[in-house]
Structure 1
Amino acid sequence: MYLAPRVVIAALGSGAGKTTISTGLMAAFVAKGLKVASAKVGPDFIDPSYHSLATSKPSCNLDPFISGPQYITELAKNASRDCDLLIIEGAMGLFDGTELQRDRDELKTDFAIGQVPLSSTAHVASLTKSPVILVVDARSISSTIAPLVKGVSKWSAEVNVAGIILNQVGSDTHESSLRNALLPLRIPVIGAIKRDPEMTLKDRHLGLVPVIENPSEIKEKISRIKNHIIGSVDLGELEAIAKSSAPLRVQSTPIQWPQGVAKVGIGYALGKAFSFNYPENLEMLTKAGAELIPFDPASDESLPENLSGLIFGGGFPEVYANELGENEPLKRAIKTLAEGGIPIWAECGGLLYLSKRLDDVEMVGAINCESSFGKKLNLGYRRVKLLNDSPLGAKDTVFLGHEFHYSTSDPAGPGTSSFGRSGMSVTGFVTPRLFASFLHLHIGTTPYIAEQFVKSAKAYLDNVE
């Protein structure tokens, strides 16, 4: 099977408007009658939810560090099956990736000319042989745009910068200056978007406001952005660039699916405080035999019945701490199950919720720590080794994941050794019945994690029956 016609929407850095423009392009092509697929470079939870609202199809994450480079074209193929166009939104700047090695606790410190860093947008563009559309924030620039774009476009032979979209253009005169400066590069400018408050999306400390918090308002906003894109971007030229992408017959490593382990009920937190769940994780768990039952810790006063496991993903419990703290019946129910040994998988916001306190608000108290919202952003990929047996894997199992949080726990926990750009640290809470950490796991190419959690849930079920 060949990969669908495709483009990567990239930029020189964060904040250039990639998500706004990518989402608007998706909605614009859907309005033209095309079947549009979407993907996001990296481990982001929020941006793909905007893609899904624009396309009415699930988006996917393309992350070579977490999933493995050998799986990226397979994941892209699965996302774009039976579609006319695949739009891949990049992350940060085009060549921003990681120095962390996938296979050992080591940093790659050299960066040679022409190199494509691991897990960068350029890396995904290279793996999928996708032409790149470069979004350039033109707010404070004129002729200098030409050397900047030339440097990026000529850095690596593995990357084809095939078009430019100018964003935050101040006036017709400004647009003319930018276009004239770029003429010698012979890279087509396929769009120029004027500064307009309508072309911004609401955000907070970890990025955009999640769709689940106000889907109808965000859908209306995307519709307005779509109309702006239709009037500012040459969609025909962009589609032609996508169709010019090199034919890529997908012969990558096939994704292994979990073996059906057992039929067990697993509750997972969902709602405005807990919206960070990878669809691929839920799919893997389902194929391993889990019946996944959502519940909202902010509003549901009781848990679903017949549960043998609990999952608390990330989100914004710090924003909704008062609502979570006031839901005493649900907190008591969760703590009772935790004390009874139900397997629990908690990531980031889930760890905060299960701690004794989050700032001044009492939480579940299933973990002997206190959490607080801080000022320092902890961001990056991690190689994590379990220091104890857990419901996700045995002691010494290594996970690849990422962290993205301002919050901290005190104590940090003795459960894992975690290696990132800042070195090694010991963090997280791990027992045979608990995995609670600031680490986010994407298990779309690691089925054994889903199998192990379902096995843990089945062992709990057998013990209580």
Structure 2
Amino acid sequence: MIPTIIIAGTHSGCGKTTIASALMSALCKRGLKVQPFKVGPDFIDPSHHTAICKRYSRNLDPYMMGENGVRETFLNASKGADIAVIEGVMGFYDGLDGADTGSTAHVSKILKAPVILVIDAKGSSRSVNAVAKGFATFDPEVNIAGVIFNRTGSKRHCDMIKESLELPSVGWIPNRTDKSVESRHLGLKMAHETSSMSEFSEVLEENAEVDAILEIAGKTVDIPIKHVITGNYENSDKGKITIGVACDEAFNFYYQDNFDRLKKHGAELKFFSPMNEPLPDADAFYFGGGYPELHMDKLETSKCRYQVKKAAEDGKIIYAECGGLTYLCERLTSEGKTSKMCGVVPADAIKMKRFQALGYVAAQCATNKCILPAGIRYRGHEFHYTKLNYGNDARFALRLSRGRGIDDGFDGIYVNNVLAGYTHAYFTEEFAENFILKIVQQNK
């Protein structure tokens, strides 16, 4: 297995995203091929990783993918790289429902990878070493090999911490508010909106021992590969059908593994901008999540929304998630303003002041009348600030054993060959295969 390092944190907001991204940038500047990863279901942090490393950042999520899925994605994506850098999620031990499942610690044990723990030192001195010791000994199966103290103050502040070090320190990062990345309702700004992450690499190089981090990463041990599928995701049968994928400032929340599985089962993907381009000639369409509420004017005035409605009326297969769902609605309201959307889904979307759902989803299709077969199960994630006002004619295809969906465990409104819900699905092989099969059958 290639050298691997996990950048974990004691809690959300401790600076692990900035430090992980800065480390990726620093290693790339040294000429290394860095394969980035993100623990959990997040879309935003991987956008920064991808921009920095010029390799697609992959999510590693044991709940959505299973432990073997984590190994498979890691091994396949790491081919040709010199080092893998994995950014953790939330606090190191924070998992599903207060358990270990899905936590950064869980992923570290699956991959047997060493961990650098980021500790926010602002407002503390000796106490941060008690924190480090607690994290290192809480689970004897994890390997926390070093610590980066973030938001440190004066030299005296650092010296006070050094008096009682419990773990090797590989970084003393000063508090630099000028290099922070702005946030909004779904998290940090996307990579195309800021360069602060990569710019922080200079701060990291000056205040961290990058060579020591590389040495720790080099001690990664091999993981068991029994039953793990490795190889090229794409097969020789690609191009059997085409799928238009909405991808611009309004729609950019996608799992790269989903794209790979669609291509593996024969799809050619055509990326396009609903804000700025017409609907492309394709056999089906995929509208992912994102920020349509920030681009309502362009989406309303673009000819694409009329073309989407006609495509739906003509029976084209359309799959949409979260932001894509709101785009297919009749209207979208945000900050007191209402704009017309595609008018495919019989509902209005309204952005609220606080999030309406956040967490993992377990879904099962409950009907054979939509584009997925009844009984198919898959997992995903939901995080949205909008809610739907839907009419009595709305039909739901999905039943959720976990998650809220559109309303109280019901998700996936279907109309003709359109399926649109709040769940960001992690495509299983079965999901991708059946989705492609439906498109092929529709073309006959």
Aligned position for 1:106: none
Structure 2, unmatched stretches of 5+, are none
Tell me if the contact between 1:335 and 1:364 (Cα under 8 Å) persists in the aligned partners: yes
Aligned position for 1:343: 317
Residue 209 in 1 paired to residue 171 in 2? no
Residue 242 of structure 1: how far off its partner (Å): 0.8
Tell me if the contact between 2:4 and 2:113 (Cα under 8 Å) persists in the aligned partners: yes
Q: Deviations over 1:374-406 (max 9, x none)?
A: 133221111111122365521222121111111
Aligned position for 1:429: 413
Residue 427 of structure 1: how far off its partner (Å): 2.7
Matches within 5 A, 1:385-400: 385-389=364-368, 393-400=372-379
Give the share of equivalent positions with the same residue, in percent. 34
Tell me if the contact between 1:198 and 1:225 (Cα under 8 Å) persists in the aligned partners: no
Rounded to whole Å, the distance in 2 between the matches of 1:162 and 1:142 is 20
Structure 1, unmatched stretches of 5+, are 100-110
Rounded to whole Å, the distance in 2 between the matches of 1:303 and 1:393 is 23
- State the SS of the aligned residue for 1:441: strand
The match for 1:174 among 157, 165, 179 is 157
Matches within 5 A, 1:305-320: 305=281, 307-320=282-295
- Quickly say closer, same or farther: Cα 1:56–1:353, change in 2 above 3 A: same
Aligned position for 1:10: 8
The match for 1:326 among 301, 305, 319 is 301
Residue 142 of structure 1: how far off its partner (Å): 2.1
Residue 413 of structure 1: how far off its partner (Å): 5.7
Aligned position for 1:373: 351
Aligned position for 1:450: 432
Residue 45 of structure 1: how far off its partner (Å): 1.1
- Quickly say closer, same or farther: Cα 1:346–1:255, change in 2 above 3 A: farther
Residue 245 of structure 1: how far off its partner (Å): 2.2
Tell me if the contact between 1:73 and 1:252 (Cα under 8 Å) persists in the aligned partners: no
Q: Deviations over 1:17-71 (max 9, x none)?
A: 1111001101111222222211110111111121122212111111111111122
Rounded to whole Å, the distance in 2 between the matches of 1:246 and 1:392 is 43
Aligned position for 2:272: 295
Aligned position for 1:193: 173
Tell me if the contact between 2:313 and 2:416 (Cα under 8 Å) persists in the aligned partners: no
- State the SS of the aligned residue for 1:341: coil
Normalization by structure 1: what TM-score?
0.88
Aligned position for 1:284: 261
Tell me if the contact between 1:262 and 1:455 (Cα under 8 Å) persists in the aligned partners: no
Amino acid in the other structure paired with 1:287: K
- Quickly say closer, same or farther: Cα 1:258–1:244, change in 2 above 3 A: closer
Rounded to whole Å, the distance in 2 between the matches of 1:429 and 1:421 is 16
Residue 225 of structure 1: how far off its partner (Å): 0.8
The match for 2:204 among 229, 243, 252 is 229
Rounded to whole Å, the distance in 2 between the matches of 1:47 and 1:292 is 23
Aligned position for 1:97: 95
Tell me if the contact between 1:262 and 1:454 (Cα under 8 Å) persists in the aligned partners: no
Residue 66 in 1 paired to residue 43 in 2? no
Q: Which has the higher strand share?
A: 2
Rounded to whole Å, the distance in 2 between the matches of 1:98 and 1:421 is 13
Amino acid in the other structure paired with 2:328: L
- Higher RCO structure (Cα 8 Å, ≥6 apart): 1
Rounded to whole Å, the distance in 1 between the matches of 2:314 and 2:273 is 21
- Aligned-pair RMSD on alpha carbons? 2.1
- Quickly say closer, same or farther: Cα 1:249–1:34, change in 2 above 3 A: farther
Residue 401 in 1 paired to residue 380 in 2? yes
The match for 1:357 among 317, 331, 341 is 331
Residue 255 of structure 1: how far off its partner (Å): 6.0
Aligned position for 1:104: none
- State the SS of the aligned residue for 2:160: helix
- State the SS of the aligned residue for 2:36: strand
Residue 249 of structure 1: how far off its partner (Å): 5.0
Amino acid in the other structure paired with 1:21: I
Q: Deviations over 1:300-346 (max 9, x none)?
A: 1x2112x211110000001111211122x211111011011111110
Amino acid in the other structure paired with 1:277: Y
Amino acid in the other structure paired with 1:290: A
Tell me if the contact between 1:9 and 1:87 (Cα under 8 Å) persists in the aligned partners: yes
Amino acid in the other structure paired with 1:148: V
Residue 129 in 1 paired to residue 127 in 2? no
